[in-house]
Amino acid sequence: MDTESATSKPVQLGMSRGLTFLMALACGAVAANIYYAQPVAGLIGPDVGLDPSAYSLVVTLTQIGYGVGLVVLVPLGDIFENRRLIVVTLVACTAALLGGSVASNAGLFLAASLVIGLSSVVVQMLVPFAAHLAPDESRGQVVGNVMSGLLMGILLARPVSSMTTDLLGWRAVFALSAGLMLVLAVVLRSVLPERRPSTSVHYLVLLRSMGQLLVRTPILRRRAFYHAMLFGAFSLFWTAVPLILASPVCGLSQAGIAVFSLAAVLGAFVAPFAGRIADRGLTKPATAFAILAVVASFLLVFASGGHVVATLFVAALLIDVGVSCNLVLGQRAIFSLGAEIRSRLNGLYMAIFFCGGAVGSAVASSVHATYGWAGIAWCGIAFPLLAALYYLTELVPRRPATAG
């Protein structure tokens, strides 16, 4: 069953607007931790004694920590009391952020960066928790609303980091976020209900079961592949587009590129609508729309040749809408598979599509350097086309089983 029946204290289904807003705010604030260092890595590196060739480790280690946390921490939501797990992880995040804010050498800062990423997976503990609290008929809407907060946090992290650094220095970014994490830990400890899963398996058995879940859950594999492809295209686009915007072809300043990046805000507003669509049983057509939107975005890029900022802006809108829509559709689908495995499913889903995004980011620079903006466009089209080919298999009617 998909209702929350496996708790020592029955959890009343339903999410008030206030609690939904609080969880969305928490997701946004925590997700921002992963991206604060990106625009200021060039300032952090020399301050903590990093070699210029290693500045990228400031960002990379945070992302590695997040990827590891998706696999080793998020599944704990299926065996440990959820509220305590969330609060403890937030406290660890607070400590890591404080450590980063006072780190005097590269080793300490990089260690803090790794733990910041590891503990920031609390956002993927909060999303399944919201799904537990939501009744069936509005689960997609609730997940979409909470995810909109997460997406907004990702969007605002970079400009907030840049502005705070300009006023108070980069260390203040981490110190202020540490204070916010501590406040969230106290507030969530007060307002979230207890949820104690009935599962009592050993942790290592739990981890092994994730492989079995992946093999035995076709909808997880399908939705994870769809989003890995779309997120790969998303990462490719947003890694490559600053290169063309800053080039003489477009001639935008860093401030202009920052304004351009606000195109992603539309994706945050689309998430709740995608959840409502899924609640109405329209996941298949909505998935087709999401995939086609990403294909169309790169067709626009290809048609523009990278010369028209307005065309690129429209392309950015399309890709962000498609990716945000598909993310929520996928989570709504996997969260309907059962409360007792929801955290593991979410961890697998996120980890798989995170790998797709890593591939998109990794190939962006080399593709752009070798083949230019046209190469980026063709590569970007290839990602969603692979998703589309797999999607077509979903439309093939299955043969009914015949009696032997």
Residue 109 in contact with residue 79, Cβ under 8 Å? no
Residue 330 in contact with residue 271, Cβ under 8 Å? no
User: 10 Å Cβ neighbour count for 107?
Assistant: 12
Picking from 8, 7, 2, 19, the residue whose alpha carbon sits closest to that of residue 126 is 19
- Per-residue tens of pLDDT for the chain, all 404 residues: 333 333 334 444 556 788 889 999 999 999 999 888 877 777 888 898 888 767 667 777 888 888 889 888 988 887 888 899 999 999 999 999 999 999 989 999 999 999 999 999 999 899 888 878 877 777 777 877 887 888 788 878 877 887 888 889 899 999 999 999 999 999 999 999 888 877 667 778 878 888 888 889 999 999 999 999 998 898 888 777 777 777 777 777 756 766 776 766 666 677 777 778 888 888 899 999 999 999 999 998 766 654 568 888 888 888 988 988 898 899 888 878 877 787 788 888 888 887 888 788 778 777 877 888 888 889 999 999 999 999 999 887 766 544 43
Domains 1-198 and 201-395 alike in fold: yes
d(CA 34, CA 61) in angstroms, rounded, equals 10
d(CA 161, CA 163) in angstroms, rounded, equals 6
Token pair 């929801």: residue: 342
d(CA 58, CA 51) in angstroms, rounded, equals 11
Task: Report whether CATH 1.20.1250.20 matches the domain 1-198.
Answer: yes
Picking from 82, 170, 196, 68, the residue whose alpha carbon sits closest to that of residue 121 is 68
d(CA 253, CA 153) in angstroms, rounded, equals 23
Whole-number Cα distances in Å, 161 to 31, 50, 106, 169, 176: 13, 20, 20, 9, 11
d(CA 150, CA 124) in angstroms, rounded, equals 10
Picking from 89, 179, 159, the residue whose alpha carbon sits closest to that of residue 126 is 89
Reading the block at residue 246, the tokens are 């800053």
What is the model's pLDDT at position 388?
95
pTM above 0.75, yes or no: no
Reading the block at residue 401, the tokens are 């089983």
- Domains of the chain by residue range: 1-198, 201-395
Exposure b/e, 126-156, CB count within 10 A at least 16 = b = bbbbbbbbbeeebbbbbbbbbbbbbbbbbbb
User: 10 Å Cβ neighbour count for 158?
Assistant: 18
Reading the block at residue 86, the tokens are 């969330």
The upper half-sphere exposure of residue 268, i.e. CA atoms within 13 Å in the direction of its Cβ, equals: 19
What is the model's pLDDT at position 1?
36
The answer for residues whose C-beta is within 8 angstroms of residue 115's C-beta and 6 or more apart is 65, 92, 93, 95, 96, 99
Token pair 């890709």: residue: 319
The upper half-sphere exposure of residue 320, i.e. CA atoms within 13 Å in the direction of its Cβ, equals: 23
- Which CATH fold would you assign to the domain 201-395? Growth Hormone; Chain: A; (1.20.1250)
Q: Give the amino acid at 10.
A: P
Residue 349 in contact with residue 338, Cβ under 8 Å? no
Residue 268 in contact with residue 324, Cβ under 8 Å? yes
